[in-house]
Amino acid sequence: MGRAPLSSTPDGGPLVELRRASKSFREGERERPVFADVDLELRRAEFVVLTGRSGSGKSTLLNLISGIDLCSSGQVLLLGRDLARVGEPERTLMRRRHVGFVFQLFNLIPTLTVEENLRLPLELCGRDDATGRERALGLLERVGLADRRRSYPDRLSGGEEQRVAVARALVHDPELVLADEPTGNLDDESAEAVLGLLEELLRPERKTLVLVTHSQQAARLADRRLEVHDGHLIEPGGPSTARDAG
């Protein structure tokens, strides 16, 4: 039987699904559990804000969703594909094609210009053609930095760097954007500008956003808010999304 295309789920189901997903890390002679039997569905065009204390596992959850890390038991499905059942090269290809990342520390490559940073995801996807370059320049225009396309990151302010990072996360047209504390290093004015860009750029194109944050300012974007607490995902005002681990 032919393999389902990566760009869509065959039955119109969730973009991402966790089924009794558990994750633990070995520390010396013992296993440290992070999540236990988590169930979660992320739908297309949904904005989900993920909160929880430092060290609770929020970034680990993003790594599981993207296939950077694999769960210890259970399943994580991205676009209908069980990430544990495909090899690392294919997981990497799926991330490059279908997931965009925005980080707290921007993660721009200092030896590349703004435009070159934007075009890097296109090169990795084999899409750095005229259409891709046009999209990159169009995104720079939309984030207000078209005139800085030949600048290097060290010439930008923190807010400008993060606007470039948002554009880079979207340049390859991913279905899913994962943002890990994207306003954590910004002042209030720059943070508000970045949050406005996320909403302005992702909502019309019906992208799915998972936003890790401690900021109430950022939480206003949420269609749904989840909190990581003691290895569970809790939806305030709704049922827990994880079963008790025993």
Give the model confidence (pLDDT) of 101-138 as tens digits.
999 899 999 999 999 999 999 999 999 999 999 999 99
**Residue 80: inside a domain, yes or no?**
no
Kind and range of the H or E element at 80? none
Helices (H) and strands (E) counted in the chain, each on its own, are 7, 10
Domain count, the chain: 1
| Structure confidence at residue 40 (pLDDT) | 95
Q: What angle do CA 56, 166, 57 make, to 5 degrees?
A: 10
Q: Mean pLDDT lowest for which of 52-56, 160-164, 235-239?
A: 235-239
Cα gap 75→82, rounded to integer Å: 6
- Band the pLDDT of 144: cuts 50, 70, 90: very high
Cα gap 200→202, rounded to integer Å: 6
Answer yes or no: is pLDDT of 6 > 80: no
**Residue 134: inside a domain, yes or no?**
yes
Q: Cα–chain-centroid distance for residue 171?
A: 14
- Band the pLDDT of 241: cuts 50, 70, 90: low
Letter for the amino acid at 87?
G
150-157 own/partner pairs: CB under 8 Å, 24+ apart: 150/113, 150/114, 150/115, 151/113, 151/114, 152/110, 152/111, 152/112, 152/113, 152/114, 153/106, 153/108, 153/109, 153/110, 153/112, 153/114, 153/117, 154/110, 156/114, 157/190
Four-residue CA torsion sign, 220, 43, 107, 138:
negative
Task: Look at residues 14, 152, 122 and name the one whose alpha carbon lies nearest to residue 76.
Answer: 14
Residues contacting residue 20 through CB under 8 Å, at least 6 positions apart = 37, 38, 39, 73, 74, 75, 243
**Residue 185: inside a domain, yes or no?**
yes
Answer yes or no: is pLDDT of 89 > 50: yes
**Residue 31: inside a domain, yes or no?**
no
**Residue 178: inside a domain, yes or no?**
yes
**Residue 183: inside a domain, yes or no?**
yes
**Residue 75: inside a domain, yes or no?**
no
| Structure confidence at residue 246 (pLDDT) | 33
CATH number at residue 119: 3.40.50.300
Q: Cα–chain-centroid distance for residue 41?
A: 15
pLDDT (mean) for 161-175: 96
**Residue 207: domain span:** 44-67+86-234
- Band the pLDDT of 4: cuts 50, 70, 90: very low
Q: What angle do CA 176, 179, 180 make, to 5 degrees?
A: 140
Cα gap 150→136, rounded to integer Å: 13
Considering the entire predicted model, what is its pTM? 0.89
**Residue 6: inside a domain, yes or no?**
no
